[in-house]
Amino acid sequence: MIYSLTVPAAVPGVEEIRVLEWHGEPGKVFAVGDLIVELETHKAVVEARAGQPGVLRAIKADPGEWREIGLVLALFSDSADETLPEGDGSATELVIEFDVI
Amino acid sequence: MSDNRANGTKKMFFREAIAKAVREEMTHNSRIIILGQDVGAFGGSYREFDGLFAEFGAARVRDTPVAENASIGIGAGAAALGYRPLVSITYMDFLMLGFDPLINYAAKLRYKTAGKLTAPLVVKTTAGALAQGVAHSQCIEAWLMSVPGLKVVAPSTPADAYGLMKTALRADGPVVYVDHKRLFPIPGEVPIAESLIPLGQAIVRRSGSDVTLASHGYMVRIALEAAERLDGEGLSCEVIDLRSLAPLDVVTVAKSVAKTGALVTLEEGQPTCGVGVEVAARVSEASGPVLSARVGALPAPVSSNPVFEAACVPDATRLVDAVKKLLARSPRAKELSPRWS
């Protein structure tokens, strides 16, 4: 199954974030609790961690790029050989946990 | 990437636009120093001075104690001696503690010394309600507008924050630069190349023909939201962002009102003796009687209770209602009112 990692509504008043750093390349297998990506708001860094196991398949926003809340940052799948959909599609949302630091 | 090379702009946070302006001006002018609580290694209460302590050192980026009167007093004195201090006062509510050095000394220095001394001081502060209660939420810009010798600016976008801060740091006399806390999460495009925005120059954010909405700071966004809603009901609003409150760009507002025939002012602070009444009075002095209404906070402190806070400060619904009520009294009422009734 394909999953999308979207920008979480982590900080009140924030409608848009900037990607700070990815913690893995496509192909990396993430376990629950692994840090996937750090996102930047006006006053905090949001750490998005895997809330379910999965394989990072495609990064849709590079460091320095901006994305609004709810937009897709990356695609994941259960196994490394599943075919990715065309475009961003309407994949199920990846379960994530986030910390605001 | 986020660089928009075609427009010569780069998208950045509000705080980054301020830091860009201050960094550039500190590089140009070694007499610019920063004073304030948490401005040093911490990088500013809103991280608007991030990196400047490391870049320019402790002699030029100085932490001060929780002592607003002393901070502004030292800033005013240093300015009289030829420095260009940027004093950060985290909340505008506590600017009150520094009114004596700011108003009695810095703003009057040029006058008192017959032009021999000036006080090129910038006091940077923040206004507005953000769930912090009665003494961390106020908008007292209008108090400052009545002080001869004092300039007051209040940007609503990162680009204006950048351009106005640069101009403030080059100005002859004291400038109070006011950010609204609710603007900080909202990024915007900022010129990559150095550029300045003159003081006393308003900007039309949205063109319209039925009513002029004049506002500043965060409330410009509320005015734009109301304009969008009224557009859906067939009313065309022209939205003016004042940007600079002293000096005030009466010409831009008067020109708009000459076209629309009606003026509604919007501010988050108290409307009594507020920015709005000053704008309306100056427009009518410039071009004759004006059909006008003012919208501001209710006559109550801004509570830390979120329900009371939201009830106190203006929102788009209150502005929409005020516009309709005003236009019902307009000579064009018969033409305009069927559009929303």
Q: Please name each of the domains of chain A with its CATH number.
A: 2-100 (2.40.50.100)
pLDDT score of B1 more than 50: no
The reply to whether omega before B101 is within 30° of 0 (cis) is no
pLDDT score of B2 more than 70: no
Q: Which of B25, B48, B136, B309 is catalytic?
A: B136
pLDDT of residue A85: 82
CB B215 within 8 A of CB B245: no
- The reply to whether B203-339 shares the fold of B3-191 is yes
pLDDT of residue A91: 81
pLDDT band at A13 (very low <50, low <70, confident <90, very high): confident
B13 closest CA partner among B190, B223, B229, B272: B190
Put simply, whether A101 touches B (Cβ < 8 Å) is: no
Give the homologous superfamily in CATH for domain B3-191.
Thiamin diphosphate (ThDP)-binding fold, Pyr/PP domains (3.40.50.970)
Q: Can you give the residue ranges of every domain in chain B?
A: 3-191, 203-339
Nearest CA in chain A to B47: A43
Q: What's the mean pLDDT in B266-275?
A: 98
pLDDT of residue B154: 98
pTM above 0.90, yes or no: yes
Put simply, whether A25 touches B (Cβ < 8 Å) is: no
**CA-CA-CA-CA dihedral for A27, A30, A34, A39, to nearest 10:** 50
Q: What's the mean pLDDT in B176-204?
A: 97
Q: What is the pLDDT of residues B89-106, one digit of tens each?
A: 999 999 999 999 999 999
Angle formed by the axes of helices B158-168 and B14-28, nearest 10°: 30
Put simply, whether A68 touches B (Cβ < 8 Å) is: no
Rounded CA-CA distance B67/A39 in Å is 35
Q: Which residues contact B116 (CB under 8 A, 6 or more apart)?
A: none
- Read off the DSSP letter of residue B105: I
Of all residues in chain B, the percent with pLDDT exceeding 70 is 98
pLDDT of residue A43: 85
Which residues in chain B have their CB less than 8 angstroms from residue A20's CB? none
What distance in Å separates residue A16's CA from the closest CA in chain B?
Answer: 7
What distance in Å separates residue A39's CA from the closest CA in chain B?
Answer: 13
Q: Which two tokens stand for residue A11?
A: 């900080």
Measured between CB atoms, which of B11, B47, B185 is closest to A14? B185
Whether residues B187 and A66 touch (CB distance < 8 A) is answered with: yes
pLDDT of residue A89: 62
pLDDT band at A10 (very low <50, low <70, confident <90, very high): confident
Q: Which two tokens stand for residue B279?
A: 């704008």
pLDDT of residue B106: 98
Q: What's the mean pLDDT in B266-270?
A: 98
Q: Which fold has domain B203-339?
A: Rossmann fold (3.40.50)
Q: What is the pLDDT of residues B98-145, one digit of tens each?
A: 999 999 999 999 999 999 999 999 999 999 999 999 999 999 999 999
Q: Which residues of chain B from 140 to 199 reach within 8 Å of chain A, CB to CB?
A: 182, 184-187
Q: Which residues contact B164 (CB under 8 A, 6 or more apart)?
A: B153, B155, B177, B197, B199, B243, B244
B174 closest CA partner among B104, B116, B126, B114: B104
Mean pLDDT of chain B: 96
What distance in Å separates residue B20's CA from the closest CA in chain A?
Answer: 15
Type of residue found at A67: R
